[in-house]
Amino acid sequence: MNICIAGLGLIGGSMALALKRAGYSVDGWNRSKEPLGYALENNVIDSAAARFDDYDMVFVALPPKAAVQFINGNAFKDGAIVSDICGVKEYIEREVCLKPRNFKYIGCHPMAGKEVSGIENACADLFDRASMVMTRAQNTDNSAFERVEKLVKDMGFARIVECSAEVHDRKIAYTSQLAHVLSNAYVKDEDIEECFGFTGGSFQDMTRIAGVDENVWASLYLLNAQNLTRKISGLIDSLEEIKDAIDKGDFDDLAAVLHRGRELFAAGKENLCKNRDIFVKYLK
């Protein structure tokens, strides 16, 4: 299988390394020259791609709008598989399906990353034991889906989470985007200064993702705005409930509010994977 990865940042570079670790030959392409040069010099990829109609599999590891521009602006091999790995899925799927294509589209989103970016931070084991979300639509080709599944397994992923693009975007608004919003808001406090010596694991957990690239995440937020703003409103309501209980000074009332959160967390873990809209496949 001839494989190309378009977009050689942290995720695209790690995908290339993971595939090469599994024995595949992988070519690459990037919008700017420096990451492409780094990838060639450090054997992240085997060669630079000049065109894309020779490849059986093209992973598009670019931001959403750039991914759509790439897909619309290039020719692909008849019957090839083109798979984006963007953090939003409805927008990409809608744009790809606007017209007939000579390739088979599969939407993917790896549930792995780092708080740093760039191909110099790529690593072959980034996806080990992680989940890959793969989306299905009415016109999804089963054979193409299965071929991507095989590559996902070979990259080291522990499980595949299969769902629709709509379900993906609704879930990711909570599990990823809201967490990034909260971390960004949390560090906008005057006590962020001179807090060395007062921090433990909880502080590190809350602030680890506050320094991510705002240009990448602003785009993701806006492309999933309805889902995300609904989650932000819910979080504000929950914070107000806790604040009101603290303001009242009633221990029992405050403990009851906190206990409901603990119960919901425990119930959420117990009900994992029981959603009929989501199918989880564990990879051996």
Mean pLDDT of 18-31: 97
Domain locations along the chain: 1-192+201-284
At residue 57, does pLDDT exceed 80? yes
pLDDT, residue 253, reads 97
Mean pLDDT of 193-197: 89
User: What is the reported pTM?
Assistant: 0.93
At residue 20, does pLDDT exceed 80? yes
At residue 10, does pLDDT exceed 70? yes
- Residue bearing the bigger pLDDT, 181 or 116: 181
In contact, 229 and 235? CB cutoff 8 Å: no
pLDDT, residue 152, reads 98
In contact, 1 and 24? CB cutoff 8 Å: yes
What span, in angstroms and rounded, lies between the C-alpha atoms of 15 and 21?
Answer: 10
pLDDT, residue 144, reads 98
- Residue bearing the bigger pLDDT, 271 or 54: 54
Mean pLDDT of 147-151: 98
Note the pLDDT tens digit of each residue in 214-247: 999 999 999 999 999 999 999 999 999 999 999 9
| Superfamily in which the 1-192+201-284 domain is placed by CATH | NAD(P)-binding Rossmann-like Domain (3.40.50.720)
What span, in angstroms and rounded, lies between the C-alpha atoms of 221 and 109?
Answer: 16
pLDDT, residue 141, reads 97
Note the pLDDT tens digit of each residue in 113-126: 888 899 999 999 99
pLDDT, residue 274, reads 65
What span, in angstroms and rounded, lies between the C-alpha atoms of 169 and 157?
Answer: 21
pLDDT, residue 238, reads 97
Note the pLDDT tens digit of each residue in 76-134: 999 999 999 999 999 999 999 999 999 999 999 999 988 889 999 999 999 999 999 99
Mean pLDDT of 205-222: 94
pLDDT, residue 272, reads 58
pLDDT, residue 233, reads 98
Ordered strands of the 26-29 beta sheet: 47-48, 26-29, 3-6, 57-60, 81-84, 104-111, 131-135, 159-163, 279-282
In contact, 116 and 249? CB cutoff 8 Å: no
Instruction: Name the average pLDDT for the chain.
Output: 95
